[in-house]
Amino acid sequence: MAIFKGAAVAIVTPMHEDGSVNFEKFGEQIDYQIANGTDAIVVCGTTGESSTLSHEEHLDTIKYCVEKVNKRVPVIAGTGSNCTETAIYLSTEAEKYGVDGVLLVCPYYNKATQNGLYGHFKAVADSIKVPVILYNVPSRTGCNLKPETVVRLCTDVENIVGIKEASGDLSRVARLMYLADGKVDLYSGNDDQVLPLLSLGGLGVISVLSNIAPKETHDMCAKYFEGDTKGATAIQVKAIELINSLFCEVNPIPVKKAMNLMGMEAGVLRMPLTEMEPENTARLEKAMKEFGLLK
């Protein structure tokens, strides 16, 4: 059985002005997400600035999220690393806190071979019992997890159940699902490609957009699964310029700006991420107004 079906939020980690994690605002954001229909929460992923959290902060944030959610929706923890031992450490600790699954990004910078990727993911998955979702995002990692390797992992390792696919290559995804034979739970990692991936057999999206439009993101998936493809398509198309604006600078710079514009107090970014450029902020504000998020 899949960890979740529908829209999961790749949730932002709010920060105080001094850069420390703002758990009060984080709790408010978790409640806001659940109240607006989010189907699962992915904590400490790329959008949560996991790359600049210390191990202690990373684990404290996961623990807080699990306790705050309190089984209302599944919690999936980003515990990937380019160091296999580190990924095992983060994953085993997260499992102790009661997460419903982990999200493992491809090792970045090392540029492992496909056999290396297989060995890495298998080692981490073998160290825990909770389900594992792989995460392919070659634009960030410099490493592409091939469809054949994904299927091999999902076949050979019992608790590797699926993939967050953010390559943007629909032909690759189609081949993956051709090879999968029902063994791979597919989730879109790109908000502008939710419906195309659902049409190929996807189960949902792990979404940046959902931080500011959780109901609409949830409804897009729900309508598709209910057979209302026209309604789902209308939401996807309406959101395109907003989605493009959320990625006109590297994530999570724009989504944190959007949340701050909405009064959600997501706070500052950690270096080396910096504040959004004025012309891009203007574009984002315009898109948010057109979507109905700002007056």
Catalytic residues: 135, 164
Q: Residue 122 corresponds to which amino acid?
A: K
In this structure, what token pair is assigned to residue 248?
A: 């006109």
Cβ atoms 125, 88 nearer than 8 A: no
Tokens 């953010």: give the residue. 166
3-state secondary structure of 259: helix
Helix (H) or strand (E) holding 87: helix 84-97
Cβ atoms 48, 13 nearer than 8 A: yes
Q: Is the peptide bond before 272 cis (omega within 30 degrees of 0)?
A: yes
| Residue 259: alpha-carbon gap to chain centroid | 17
Cβ atoms 81, 110 nearer than 8 A: no
Count Cβ atoms within 10 A of the Cβ of residue 2 and give its class: 0-12 exposed, 13-18 middle, 19 or more buried. Answer: middle
Strands 40-43, 75-78: pairing kind: parallel
Widest Cα–Cα separation across the chain: 52
